[in-house]
Amino acid sequence: MAFFYSEPSHTFSEYLLVPGYSSAECIPSNVSLKTPLTRFRKGEEEPAISMNIPMVSAIMQSVSGADMAVALAKEGGISFLYGAQTPEDEAAMVKAVKDTKAGFVKSDSNLSPESTLQDVLNLKARTDHSTVAVTEDGTPTGKLVGIVTSRDYRISRMEKSVKVKEFMTPLDKLVIGKDGCTLSEANDIIWANKVNALPIVDDNGRLVSFVFRKDYEQHKSNPNELLDAHKRYVVGAGINTRDYAERVPKLLDAGVDVLCVDSSEGFSEFQGRTIKYVKENFGPDVKVGGGNVVDRDGFRYLAEAGADFIKIGIGGGSICITRETKGIGRGQATSVIEVAEARNEYFKETGIYIPICSDGGIVYDYHMTLALAMGADFMMLGRYFARFDESPSRKLNINGTYVKEYWGEGSNRARNWQRYDDGEGSKLKFEEGVDSYVPYAGPLKDNVQLTLAKVKATMCNCGALSIPELQEKAKLTLVSATSIVEGGAHDVILKDKGNGTAYQG
């Protein structure tokens, strides 16, 4: 006879946080949202990778592209680039993120003195970079002879055939830095000489890299930005349980910081095999997350397989219909609570802490605070990020309302059959996701900062200034259907903010 759980599973909307004592220090500006991404041993100062905010973007075609990765890293989180593309294309996307931000940037816009203005325009159209290095042989590491910026030419007054050597800023008029200088020293040179780009050259005059003023300014306006040891944005990537032997090496060569197995269900031999392959072939320094699971047994299986973090949730995503089509899943709140207990038990037994990620079931901003209070170290979000300018999907106007397209990886549109571990076939037999729209919400930065302001304020209501403290102090209560109604606006006539008319609430 089948095993029956004695209690029903619950969703986030069935819980509320009960306020705790708040001292005068409990103000949002004092709250830290730093959280671990990867496993670490008791006694270690910090894990190999931590985040400054507890948010990662989902491994979805309609969510996580290069623009999303850069925007989220600026705020302190990580994007997991979607894996439903060729290994080469995904690796190129990783490289694009890594090349977007660096203290010392390898030049990828290069021409020779014999090139033409038309070549400059073509290169700018392809790379969207306004600074072009001019080297003797036109290579990124050739002997530097000058640079070209948009201030060096006027399209309306010059022939497209004029050669670069005729209008470039020559080497003897450039401010340059020497290879071996620190980033701080390079920035001092930039500010002292009022230049926007500083070429770095070696003792033989060969170009090594650039340092840009805009990178310094961007860092000052994004104090939480998440950077690697080389001052590049941190980025993750999704892998599947089928072509990992081909995909993983390409992603690592491109500079990816962390991998995550993208699978409909993680408690499987296929996923254990994938994680073990990564660890055995590339070593413990290559970080890979697993999932998704919904109970203690699933967590334990992936923990012992070597997962560096574990995702929780099946069927709770807004575009997921796994529960409808297969009858598989569990309420997200109950799943997080049980897996968090399993994580804590594992830590006591082994001294190894494995961060857990709540993936799915987030409808309102306060659900994120609930997920953290229940034990999640961070959340993976799809619908939330799909609404923003930086998501890869199209922005449309439907009946006067701006929306963005949003589709599940289990939909026919995604054609991502590789994430389904049925061990056979090369196509979807049936859909587990839908094709939909979400309301357009504008830029990521504004929305994330508003959401996190709510999270911090709620943490202060609980007397907590960090996520671990929230998990220690939080008091949670189940609510009845009637009290859910009570919690919103009711028994009043609400004003329509748009035109002044009213509607019954």
Task: Kindly list the distances between the CA atom of residue 145 and the CA atoms of 154, 210, 267, in Å, as whole numbers in the listed order.
Answer: 21, 14, 58
Beta bridge partners of residue 212, listed in sequence order? 197
**Distance (Å, rounded) from C-alpha 434 to C-alpha 411?**
5
Find the helix or strand (DSSP H, E) in which 51 lies.
strand 50-51
The torsion region of residue 464 among left (phi > 0), alpha (psi -120 to 50) and beta comes to beta
Q: Could you give the angle at which helices 269-282 and 296-305 cross, rounded to 10 degrees?
A: 30
Which strands form 177-178's sheet, in the order they lie side by side? Answer: 177-178, 197-201, 207-212
Torsion angle of C-alpha atoms 398, 83, 55, 437, degrees rounded to 10:
10
- CA-closest candidate to residue 83, choices 198, 208, 266, 244: 244
| Contact indicator for 417, 425 with CB cutoff of 8 Å | yes
Residue 292: cis peptide before it, omega within 30 degrees of 0? yes
| Contact indicator for 28, 457 with CB cutoff of 8 Å | yes
**Distance (Å, rounded) from C-alpha 47 to C-alpha 479?**
36
Any idea which residues carry the catalytic annotation? 320, 419
**Distance (Å, rounded) from C-alpha 35 to C-alpha 468?**
9
φ and ψ at 262, to 5 degrees? -95, 105
Angle, CA 289 vertex, CA 286 and CA 294 arms, to 5° = 165
What does the chain come to in residues? 505
Q: Which residues of 79-95 are buried (b: 16+ CB within 10 A; e: fewer)?
A: bbbbbbbebeebbebbb
Angle, CA 462 vertex, CA 458 and CA 467 arms, to 5° = 75
Task: Kindly list the distances between the CA atom of residue 399 and the CA atoms of 319, 362, 396, in Å, as whole numbers in the listed order.
Answer: 22, 27, 10
Task: Provide the 3-class DSSP secondary structure of residue 295.
Answer: coil
φ and ψ at 356, to 5 degrees? -120, 145
Task: Write out the two tokens for 270.
Answer: 């296929």
Alpha helices (H) along 101-163: 117-127
Beta bridge partners of residue 401, listed in sequence order? 398
